[in-house]
Amino acid sequence: MINNEVKIEVPTGLLENWQEIVNILAEMIGIPAALIMRFTDPHIEVFVSSNSKENPYHPGDKETLHNSGLYCEKVIKAQDKLLVPDALADANWKNNPDIKLNMISYLGFPILLPNKEPFGTICILDNKPNEYTKTIEKLMLKFSSLIESHLETISMNQILGDKNKRVTDYLMELQALRGFVTICSNCKNIRDNQDNWNPVEHYLIQHPEADFSHGICPECKEKLYPDLTGGS
């Protein structure tokens, strides 16, 4: 069972870079569609789509992946390249859903997250039989590796951001604990770090961030509980 629970937000700048990648592939090879697909269980989604003519795929298009019969399902589950030169002549692929869009040839590679879970695929599709060359395969592998390096950088930045947030929260909590002071429940005077008791307004002027707990100052203790202090 494939499971992709990693939440990665791709910055706009990188999306523009990925758009250039699929545009270059489509233009250079002369095909209708070059795509970056994203897998978010249970769906596979068109994440980036080339601006080429006759491209039937649009960003945001999605399908349920499991048992879909899609080319990309095979790539994601096998985590390996898939080449289908002519689906109409291939018993394994002649009924796949992309045939309805007249996409009868396919070449795709997996894109993996740093934890080796699937992010999705990078793939090219044609409306005519296409063997694709070894040079095209090498180029797509390079682009796949580039995208994976982008994802690794995003993931590291996210981890560092979470760690920095936890450290900041800890420091704020520590600061709050250090600012925790005792206030007399009777006269409302406050005890400072030198064990002196001062009027509340004086303390608040100097320590506006402080939190309070209740206690009782010596004078109030003597007045209210003379038996405990030895007073008459």
pLDDT band at residue 129 under the 50/70/90 scheme: very high
pLDDT of residue 141: 95
Distance CA 59, CA 198 (A): 66
Residue 7, domain member (yes or no): no
Instruction: Evaluate if pTM is beyond 0.85.
Output: no
The verdict on 88 and 189 lying in the same domain is: no
pLDDT tens, 89-122? Answer: 999 999 999 999 999 999 999 999 999 999 999 9
The verdict on 101 and 189 lying in the same domain is: no
The contacts of residue 179 (CB under 8 Å, 6+ apart) are 207, 209, 210, 211
pLDDT tens, 172-197? Answer: 554 554 555 566 666 667 777 677 77
Domain residues for 41? 12-161
Distance CA 212, CA 131 (A): 75
Query: Which CATH number covers residue 151?
Result: 3.30.450.40
Residue 4, domain member (yes or no): no
The verdict on 148 and 55 lying in the same domain is: yes
The verdict on 155 and 190 lying in the same domain is: no
Last residue of a domain, one of 102, 130, 161: 161
Last residue of a domain, one of 161, 193, 221: 161
Q: Count structural domains, the chain.
A: 2
